[in-house]
Amino acid sequence: MQQEKVTFCRICEPFCGMIATVENDRLIGLRPDKDHPLSRGFACPKGMAYPAVQNDPDRVLHPLRKRPDGTFEQVSWHEATSEIARRVRHIRSRYGARSGAFYLGNPAALNYSNALWSLLFMRALGITHFFSAGSQDTNSRFVANHLLYGQIMQIPLPDIHHTEFLVLMGANPVVSHMSLCSVGRVAEELHAIENRGGRVVVIDPRRTETAREHQWLPILPDSDAWLLLSIINVLFAENLVDRARVAKIASGVESLRRLATPFPPEATAERTRIPAETVRGLARDLTQKRSAVYGRTGTCLGSAPTLVNFLMDAVNILAGNIDQRGGVVFGEPVLPLVQLDAYTDAFSSYVPAKTRIGAMPTVMGQEPAAFMAAEMTTPGPDQIRMLFVSAGNPVLSTPNGPELENALAGLDLMVSIDLYVTETNQHADFILPATAMYEREDLPVANGTFYLQPFVQATPAVVPPRGQARLEAEILQEIAEKAGVWPMPNPLVRLAAGVANLVHLPVTPRRVLDTLIRLGRGGDRFGLRRNGLTLDRLIANHPHGVMFADAVEVGRIRRVIRHRDKRIHLHHPEIRSEVQRLGQRREDPDFSLRLIGQREPRSENSWMHNVAALRAARAPHAARMHPEDVDDLGLTHLGPVRLVSASGHIELPVIATADISRGVVAVPHGWGHGGGSWKRANREPGANVNALASTNPADLDPLSGMSHLSGIRVRAERIDSVAPTGE
Ligand SMILES: Nc1nc2c(c(=O)[nH]1)N[C@H]1C(S)=C(S)[C@@H](COP(=O)(O)OP(=O)(O)OC[C@H]3O[C@@H](n4cnc5c(=O)[nH]c(N)nc54)[C@H](O)[C@@H]3O)O[C@H]1N2
Ligand SMILES: Nc1nc2c(c(=O)[nH]1)N[C@H]1C(S)=C(S)[C@@H](COP(=O)(O)OP(=O)(O)OC[C@H]3O[C@@H](n4cnc5c(=O)[nH]c(N)nc54)[C@H](O)[C@@H]3O)O[C@H]1N2
Ligand code: SF4
Ligand SMILES: [Mo]
């Protein structure tokens, strides 16, 4: 019998509404949900293709244990968790709790029970080596937030629905559908800005899918700090800053002026390749209209990314656009996440000079993933002996995968929870099968503060788990219980436990979520408000979600800022030294090209390459370069090239295209498959671009420990053929 169920996609951040068709407990189709208030009938090819992941014959459906000969055998859940717990106890007693590590990958951020219970599991086991995709994605943005507003949770969002002038720096929303900003149908919303007389400028080294639709302003990779300093310089020099107004909300304005004084646009044009007059025009326009500057991974992965994010906000602040309708605004989460953060500090912690290797900061407890290999191979009391990986493929997603693979081989215990055997977990002792997204109940908790409109939606599981797949939270809790370290005290759990104890129920992710909903906007306050929201009511009575208002409120900045004086802090010695460091960088003529990434519309990081429908008639993995660079270097269009950095080299075909600036090479990340269970992906030619990235502490962002993945200095060499990779 066929049934239709209302749900939503959790591959990326718009969480598009979906109607699932289910037959005999099998997901047989998806269509976009026309009644979803945000996506309004839109879904992208990745989202639509998810049934092929759900039903993939290559999925791992039973716990797997590594045999001595390196192959995997199926074992029962009981055997797997008991043996893991036994080995955990042994390693803890022999080397101490600090020998444990956890890597939490990107899909965990869109899966509340995995994220929440992974954090609790780490606390229970005393794991301090916590790594995540964040140090390849968001942490520089978060540290800029910490410096400016004293908190990490609420970051400025471009008010796309009301702005008249949007500057996108290092973001490609037509392909990525926006990130750290949950908004539906973004490609249309960008056109709507122009339709109401506004303008969208895309500052990007590549003429991206977004740039093609709007106004492209090419920039040399890794030079945004110079551009932003010049914009700030012009704002002051041309008296465009309403000083009295800014002084009301921010301190350190004068220090910022001085910081930017040496950088008039004429002094930075050569570094950015943006003409001085264009920079002056940008600065003027930003103060004349409702404007917003927004950046994403292109501004988070360079060599000084905290500085870039800091300066980007400084421009929004100085131009009078922060906390303004049509400017940048702060989200209003429906669940009481901000209160919870203020109470526990769980999501806003920042500790400078914390890590054993490199003395780097931790951001929300996360150490730089670039140090994973070194933390495994460097002797000492905190050397990593055991690693848990959930929803991550760091061999392809973090710097220097080959180095990490070698280090993984030396671990005493490695456990991975995933849908597939991957390049990473092929090195594990155990691979445990996770439920795929339509097999679980969910609500986008971590994105709560990033919604442009106050909105909440929960979905039930639409199909039962395939095979023996289980929720990550259940798996982790069982291991911790068997290891004798669960339950454990934690403010969040205590809160839910308090509630659960009243009715003598165990604490589960579901009860924590229900508690948050009941205490949140529209919540039933445990019966005080009749017909208020509970998790069950949200699912049963509001399948397409609840929209509380058309837009988030503005004029709330004092409530967002967590500095004691309730002002934005624009003066920081760390920022000053970052500007000095910029000026000290010497370019190496041996590596005169700059490497950037390129997200593809039909791919999600490393893990949707097994879906035939997404790969049909697609060009194979390749580098993009300007035709004149291709000619000058003696390369040929579609011919092979070797890219060399100070850290490694890769070989792949090159595509000549005028849609990229000269001196720039673009290569998508997440390729270079081999050894996983994803048979089709393994057959695709491709190279791991992160073999070119550095794990040397000197190459990371000192303020955030962010990996340097965009603007890596490389050279291109002519070769006769590409060395084969994969199977
Ligand atoms: N050069 C370069 N490198 C980059 C980037 C870049 O732009 N350039 N981008 C960075 C960014 S932004 C990110 S987010 C990271 C991603 O880094 P990672 O999170 O390490 O890598 P993914 O490729 O997203 O791998 C996700 C894994 O989770 C599995 N998975 C999928 N769904 C589920 C699920 O529901 N449960 C479980 N348990 N597992 C699941 C998949 O099979 C896959 O193995 O890559 C980063 N690396
Ligand atoms: N189709 C698809 N969608 C995705 C993903 C995916 O893999 N595929 N991944 C999801 C994830 S995990 C994330 S974090 C988001 C990321 O969302 P986005 O950041 O919007 O996605 P990217 O396509 O990486 O866009 C980064 C842009 O920065 C540009 N850039 C690189 N270096 C520089 C620089 O130095 N300066 C400037 N100004 N620009 C630069 C690149 O050319 C690129 O166009 O996308 C999400 N959505
Ligand atoms: S844009 Fe695509 S992948 Fe992202 S949530 Fe929407 S349908 Fe899913
Ligand atoms: Mo990401």
According to the model, what pLDDT value does residue 495 have?
A: 63
| Ligand 3 centroid – CA 52 distance (Å) | 15
Give per-10-residue mean pLDDT for the chain (727 aa).
96 98 98 98 98 98 97 98 98 96 98 94 94 98 98 96 98 98 98 98 98 98 98 98 97 98 98 98 96 98 98 98 98 93 82 94 97 98 97 98 97 98 98 98 97 98 98 97 82 61 74 94 96 98 98 96 97 98 94 98 97 90 98 97 98 98 98 96 96 98 98 97 64
Q: Which two tokens stand for residue 267?
A: 């002094």
According to the model, what pLDDT value does residue 346 have?
A: 73
The whole-angstrom separation of Cα 332 and Cα 451 is 8
According to the model, what pLDDT value does residue 726 have?
A: 44
- Ligand 2 pocket test, pick from 140, 169, 204 with the greatest ligand atom count within 8 Å of Cβ, gives 204
pTM over 0.85: yes
- Closest atom of ligand 1 relative to the 106 alpha carbon: 19
According to the model, what pLDDT value does residue 344 have?
A: 72
Distances in Å between the Cα of 557 and the Cα atoms of 150, 189, 453, 706 are 12, 25, 17, 27
Indicate which ligand has the atom closest to the C-alpha of 9: 3
Residues 6+ apart with CB under 8 A from 682: 673, 674, 675, 676, 726, 727
Q: Does ligand 2 lie within 6 Å of residue 393's CB atom?
A: no
* Pair type for strands 250-251 and 568-569: parallel
- Ligand 1 pocket test, pick from 172, 208, 397 with the greatest ligand atom count within 8 Å of Cβ, gives 397
The whole-angstrom separation of Cα 257 and Cα 235 is 9
| DSSP character at residue 42 | -
According to the model, what pLDDT value does residue 619 have?
A: 85
Q: Whose CA is nearest to atom 8 of ligand 3?
A: 47
Q: Does ligand 1 lie within 6 Å of residue 670's CB atom?
A: yes
The helix/strand/coil state of 416 is strand
The whole-angstrom separation of Cα 367 and Cα 359 is 10
Which run of H or E residues covers position 73?
strand 72-74
- Closest atom of ligand 2 relative to the 604 alpha carbon: 7
- Tokens 């950046």, residue? 295
| Ligand 3 centroid – CA 353 distance (Å) | 38
Mean pLDDT computed over every residue of the chain? 96
Indicate which ligand has the atom closest to the C-alpha of 30: 3
Q: Whose CA is nearest to atom 11 of ligand 1?
A: 137
Residue among 246, 319, 329, 333 nearest 554 (CA): 329
Residues 6+ apart with CB under 8 A from 105: 132, 133, 389, 390, 391, 392, 393, 394, 397
- Closest atom of ligand 1 relative to the 417 alpha carbon: 38
Task: Catalogue all structural domains in the chain, each as residue range(s) with its CATH number.
Answer: 2-54 (2.20.25.90), 72-136+337-488 (3.40.50.740), 155-328+556-573 (3.40.228.10), 585-718 (2.40.40.20)
The whole-angstrom separation of Cα 225 and Cα 576 is 12
According to the model, what pLDDT value does residue 421 have?
A: 98
| Ligand 3 centroid – CA 227 distance (Å) | 32
Say if CB 548 and CB 334 are below 8 A apart.
yes
Residues 6+ apart with CB under 8 A from 378: 356, 357
The whole-angstrom separation of Cα 491 and Cα 495 is 6
| DSSP character at residue 207 | -
According to the model, what pLDDT value does residue 160 have?
A: 98
Q: Is 271 exposed, middle or buried (0-12, 13-18, 19+ CB in 10 A)?
A: middle
The whole-angstrom separation of Cα 366 and Cα 484 is 25
- Ligand 2 pocket test, pick from 599, 657, 709 with the greatest ligand atom count within 8 Å of Cβ, gives 599
197 sits in the region (left: phi over 0; alpha: psi -120 to 50; else beta) called left
Q: Does ligand 1 lie within 6 Å of residue 393's CB atom?
A: yes
pLDDT digits (tens, 9 = 90+) for 542-574: 999 999 999 999 999 999 999 999 999 999 999
The neighbour count for residue 626, using CB atoms within 10 Å, is 18
- Tokens 């066929």, residue? 2
Q: Does ligand 2 lie within 6 Å of residue 12's CB atom?
A: yes
| Ligand 3 centroid – CA 424 distance (Å) | 25
Which run of H or E residues covers position 166?
strand 165-169
The whole-angstrom separation of Cα 528 and Cα 441 is 26
Say if CB 712 and CB 595 are below 8 A apart.
yes
How much of the chain is in helix, strand and coil states, percent to nearest 5?
A: 35, 20, 45
According to the model, what pLDDT value does residue 491 have?
A: 61
